[in-house]
Structure 1
Amino acid sequence: MTPGSDPSSGAALADEARGPLAILYRELDAAVAELAPVCRLSGRCCRFEEYGHTLFLSAPEAAVLVADAPAAARPLDAGRTCPWQDDRGRCTAREARPLGCRVYFCDPAFEDQAPILTERFLSRLKELVDARGWPWSYAPLHRHLHSAVERGEFAPPSDLAGGDDAIDPREAGSQAPAGPA
């Protein structure tokens, strides 16, 4: 963080990280495009619990996602789904989505390549974070989102009638999962 910036502010971190992350993401997107994985728009990438995966991201990625993504399409839950998945299963945060989203495809032909790309670009991301002195805080998406709710930087739609899957954003901090989903 630059001198004088508020290290607790996701907005300040987003302002610093936006440009460097955009470059990294463009390079990653180009590497993925070369391998041409197929996306069948199944929505499995955003239904974490149902398909047995957890989206981890760094603090700079989370800051940019929260600052630049459109309003969330669904209430924040306990890590079961992505709040930017719309009712048709599509991502509404395409431009701001983090590295983990950019390398996740259900295409079996891409299965062996995804971990290689992930490690390659995650290493570059970590080097960038270290060089800039940004916080790393590599954690599940919903931990970052709960923190952003507490700071008043993220306000997902509230759907308290949505059953036990929905979390009242006012209680988000106390509802954060204790570990990876």
Structure 2
Amino acid sequence: MSAPEPGPARPLRRDVAAALLVLVVWLVPIGQGAIQAAPATWWPTIVRDLGSISCLFRHRPESVPYFFMQVLREGRREWEPVDERALFPMEPFGYRTRFDRFMERFGAKHEASRLDLARWVADRDRTLNPKQNPVVAVRFLAGSQKIDPARPPVGHWQKPEPTPQTVRVLSSHDLREETGRPGR
């Protein structure tokens, strides 16, 4: 009599757990995104990102949001535009900078995020431009450019020049009021 042949190997618990994790964290949001055009907002941000990476677009955007920063230097009265390329040299999102991506994702909605960015801009400007007067205030502007299907844009998109008619002030942050803040 010969020994019985061994049956198929049972999957390891870690393999089952990994498969369930992929199913719940990636495949379900992608499936939901395929049906509803995007994973639901109740998913954590990282899961929504993983689900929306499938690039399923059911609706074209009606407009393109854009943002600007301006600084006020000590002893000056005029707001100056910020050279975004100097502060955010990487362009991981096509022709849009990390500043654009940050503002679309967090900054346009959260005052605290803009305040943190204003502090960082002032500190970074001090490092990059030590001979210029220090930045004492930062303000953020937002605009939106309508997309005309009859005349689609040609070439790569660029921000239009800010004018009082095309942008609105999201917030202004006077950093002089923060002299008691640690590190100042």
Q: Structures share a fold, TM > 0.5? A: no
Which of the two has greater strand per residue?
2
Which of the two has greater helix per residue?
1
Q: Look at both structures and tell me which one has the larger radius of gyration over its CA atoms.
A: 2
TM-score normalised by the chain length of structure 1: 0.30
TM-score normalised by the chain length of structure 2: 0.29
